[in-house]
């Protein structure tokens, strides 16, 4: 058996104490180096992003505020609100500076009537005009206190009607006898003028509007001028008017001269009242035109001109003033009070019929023979 063990000596080594002619050779072992900390990974250049899309991060990228449609909607709404505030605030600010007039007489008055009747007076008061302006506008005496323009405007269920009262109309002035109607203003102020007209027409005057010489100039210039259409060439020394025949755009000074001119015509004051109605209608169209409202500069100038040159009755509020301005643009019947002669003497019978229809708010029943441009029967123009 010993021989058997020798066969496996090459595996287990020689027996203890024996010798091995071919001892097993040990493979030399190499010692491990001391542990070193791991080296930092090399820095790589940032990824180029124009070839590959960014990795999704879980939330959508933040959009600019101006890329959102609702931002523009809010901006438009804000601008509209500011614009409405401007449109409302400017007239209210101007209204706080408007002068008020006590126009209602203390004497007995006609009873309340349907509709609304306005007394519109164009005063030739030069208050507020400098000497240079009076000379430029040919307005004359600074102390004058007459009424060059007297108009009655009625609005109600029927067509809006505007009636001119010639300033030289001989009427009974309470307390002073018969005299030119425009002198009532100088003798007793607005209440006496109102009383004189109510007594002569039977109409109850509900509202009062007064405009001075400078007022017409300022308003016309504020709206960028108006169009007038004279039927002939007019050169009037007293008013300073010099215009050609036909429709043309004019400024405030020329519009005022056109409203005052009369001595060029054989029918004098009757020609002037037609021109006054033409000027007032043209101003009304411009005042309430869309461009006057949409143009902030014009809207500001227009409202700025009101306090300096307009006065309203004490009972007139801003809403009433707005209704009057709107009514002036909707005049359907425009005429002079019926006259018997060119000297402005009234045709009593026809005048009573005209004012009776107005008092009853039946302006649709006013016939053409009662409402003519000159006031004379059978003469229109």
Complete domains list, the chain, with CATH: 94-365 (3.40.630.190)
More reliable by pLDDT, 165 or 9: 165
What's CA 171's distance to the chain center, in Å?
39
pLDDT 10s digits, 60-71: 666 666 666 777
Percent of the chain with pLDDT over 90: 32
- Euclidean distance between CA atoms 276 and 150, whole angstroms: 10
What are the distances in angstroms from CA 81 to CA 74, 88, 233?
Answer: 11, 11, 49
**142-156, 184-198, 352-366: lowest mean pLDDT where?**
142-156
**60-74, 86-100, 147-161, 314-328: lowest mean pLDDT where?**
60-74
- Euclidean distance between CA atoms 127 and 132, whole angstroms: 13
Give the count of alpha carbons within 13 A of 100, CB side only: 10
- Name the pLDDT band for 129 (thresholds 50, 70, 90): low
More reliable by pLDDT, 140 or 319: 319
- Euclidean distance between CA atoms 152 and 357, whole angstroms: 14
To which residue do tokens 């949409």 refer?
294
Could you write out the DSSP letters of every residue in 221-256?
Answer: HHTT-EEE--SS-EEETTTTEEE-SS-EEE-HHHHH
- Euclidean distance between CA atoms 179 and 157, whole angstroms: 34
- Name the pLDDT band for 44 (thresholds 50, 70, 90): low
* Position 179 pLDDT exceeds 90: yes
To which residue do tokens 């008013």 refer?
239
Element (H, E) at 269: helix 269-287
Tokens coding 246: 């036909």
What are the distances in angstroms from CA 121 to CA 167, 297, 310?
Answer: 10, 28, 10
Please tell me which of 43-57, 124-138, 324-338 the model is most confident about, judged by mean pLDDT.
324-338
Which residues are CB-contacts of 126 (< 8 A; sequence separation ≥ 6)?
134, 139, 140, 141, 142, 143, 144, 212, 213
pLDDT attached to residue 357: 97
pLDDT attached to residue 321: 86
Binning the chain into helix, strand and coil, the percentages to the nearest 5 are 40, 15, 45
Q: What is the DSSP letter of 212?
A: -
To which residue do tokens 């003033």 refer?
321
Percent of the chain with pLDDT over 70: 74
pTM of the model: 0.71
Q: What is the mean pLDDT of the chain?
A: 81
- Euclidean distance between CA atoms 216 and 247, whole angstroms: 19
| Section 79-89 average pLDDT | 88
pLDDT 10s digits, 293-332: 788 888 888 888 878 778 899 988 888 888 888 888 788 8
* Position 79 pLDDT exceeds 70: yes
Nearest 5°: the CA angle 283, 247, 303 is 15
* Position 361 pLDDT exceeds 80: yes
Taking each continuous run of H as one helix and of E as one strand, the counts in the chain are 12, 13
């Amino acid at each position: 058996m010993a021989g058997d063990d020798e066969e496996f000596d090459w595996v287990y080594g020689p027996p203890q104490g024996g010798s091995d002619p071919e001892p097993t050779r040990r493979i030399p072992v190499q010692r491990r180096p001391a542990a070193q900390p791991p080296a930092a990974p090399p820095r790589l250049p940032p990824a180029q992003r124009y070839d590959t899309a960014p990795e999704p991060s879980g939330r959508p990228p933040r959009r600019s505020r101006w890329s959102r449609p609702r931002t523009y909607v809010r901006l438009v709404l804000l601008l509209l609100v500011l614009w409405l505030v401007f449109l409302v605030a400017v007239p209210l600010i101007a209204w706080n500076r408007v002068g008020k007039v006590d126009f209602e007489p203390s004497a007995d008055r006609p009873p309340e009537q349907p509709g609304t009747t306005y007394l519109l007076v164009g005063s030739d008061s030069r208050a507020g005009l400098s000497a240079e302006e009076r000379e430029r506008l040919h307005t004359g005496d600074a102390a004058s206190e007459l009424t060059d323009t007297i108009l009655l405007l009625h609005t109600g269920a029927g067509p809006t009607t505007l009636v001119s009262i010639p300033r030289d109309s001989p009427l009974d002035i309470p307390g002073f006898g018969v005299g030119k109607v425009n002198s009532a203003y100088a003798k007793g102020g607005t209440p006496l003028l109102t009383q004189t007209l109510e007594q002569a027409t039977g109409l109850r005057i509900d509202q009062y509007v007064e405009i001075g010489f400078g007022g017409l100039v300022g308003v016309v210039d504020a709206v960028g001028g108006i169009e007038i259409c004279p039927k002939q060439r007019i050169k009037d020394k007293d008013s300073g008017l010099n215009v050609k025949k036909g429709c043309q755009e004019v400024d405030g000074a020329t519009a005022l001269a056109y409203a005052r001119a009369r001595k060029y015509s054989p029918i004098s004051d009757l020609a002037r009242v037609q021109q006054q109605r033409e000027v007032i209608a043209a101003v009304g169209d411009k005042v309430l035109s869309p461009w006057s409202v949409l143009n902030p500069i014009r809207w500001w100038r227009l409202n700025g001109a009101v306090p300096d040159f307009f006065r309203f009755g004490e009972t007139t509020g801003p809403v009433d003033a707005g209704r009057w301005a709107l009514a002036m643009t909707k005049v359907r019947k425009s005429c002079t009070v019926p006259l018997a002669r060119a000297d402005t003497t009234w045709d009593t019978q026809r005048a009573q019929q005209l004012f009776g229809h107005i008092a009853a708010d039946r302006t649709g029943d006013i016939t053409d023979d009662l409402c003519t441009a000159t006031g004379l029967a059978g003469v229109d123009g």
